[in-house]
Amino acid sequence: KDEAAQSPSSPTPSPTPAASAAKTYKVATDAAYAPFESLSEDKKVVGFTVDVLTAISEKANFKLEFINTPWEGIFATLDTGDRDIVASSVTITDARKATMDFSEPYFEAKQLIAVPEASKVAKADDLKDKKVGVQTGTTGDEVVQKLLGKTSQAIKRFESTPLALKELQNGGIDAVVADNGVVIHFVANNPDAKLKTVEDAGFAPEYYGFAVKKGNLEVVAKINEGLKKIKEDGSYDKIYAKYFGA
């Protein structure tokens, strides 16, 4: 190494200014949500969300450490400082915006009903006399509360969406309401479960965003900058096509 570069008057130049400035953000992800976020065989967090945020980070010069984090309590990890970003197919809602900040949306979703193939359920209203499974504290949970009543005993809550779908497969409940992408993926990949999906026109569109601690506008700005770039240069579309077709 060059001696002169080590002297106090001439500090060691970093390889590139960009590399030295890159911060690493800890990312909370409930990796039980294929195809958006799941665990690979070697226990890495993978999926659409991971690819999108990774592409964003490359454009906006930051690094990521994805950490599988239970959905229950996932937002609290922002306030404690244990995580910098929640990347977990989080729907941007007014209630959540009161306690955290969001990036621009990166995906549009909708609730979807899963029922056994033989079920007569044809619309959301048909769930009113049914036992309905949801993942606790999700927008699916909120939608079913509106249908059945906040305190309804017929709402069965699970810590993950796959657990709810497994219980439906086992006949313990009559339906599951969850994000469309995850329901479609489960039904398609578990033909033995003999489930089908039911749409309801009354379900509003939902938009996924990356959540950060309230006031952490530095990270929001970086994510938005990178998201804009990957939408402009076609890399977002490529990732989308990889998971959902063109």
**Concatenated DSSP letters for 104-149?**
S--EEE-EEEEEETT----SGGGGGGS-EEEETTSHHHHHHHHHH-
Separation CA 156–CA 141 (nearest Å): 9
Select the span of 2-10, 89-97, 195-203, 224-232 touching ligand ARG (CB under 6 A).
Answer: 89-97
- Among residues 27, 30, 50, 101, which is the contact residue for ligand ARG, using CB under 6 A? 30
Question: 71, 102, 107, 203: which one contacts ligand ARG (CB under 6 A)?
Answer: 71
126 binds ligand ARG (CB under 6 A): no
Residue 11 is encoded by which pair of tokens?
Answer: 């500090």
Question: Whole-angstrom Cα distance, residue 233 to residue 142?
Answer: 36
- Residue 164 in 3-state DSSP? helix
Cβ atoms within 10 Å of 112's Cβ, excluding its own: 21
Using rule CB under 6 A, residue 33 touches ligand ARG = yes
- 187 lines the binding site for ligand ARG (CB under 6 A): no
Stretch that binds ligand ARG, among 2-10, 15-23, 134-142, 150-158 (CB under 6 A): 134-142
90 lies in the site for ligand ARG, by CB under 6 A: yes
Q: Count residues near ligand ARG (CB under 6 A).
A: 13
Residue 96 beta carbon to ligand ARG: minimum distance, rounded to whole angstroms: 8
Beta carbon of residue 146, minimum distance to ligand ARG (angstroms, whole number): 14
d(CA 32, CA 125): 28
Binding to ligand ARG by residue 51, rule CB under 6 A?
Answer: no
Which one-letter DSSP state was computed for residue 22?
Answer: P
Only one of the segments 1-9, 16-24, 131-139, 219-227 lies at the binding site for ligand ARG (rule: CB under 6 A); that segment is 131-139
Kind of pairing, strands 206-213 and 107-109?
antiparallel
Task: Please give the residue ranges that form the binding site for ligand ARG (CB under 6 A).
Answer: 30, 33, 37, 71, 88-91, 135, 138-139, 161, 179
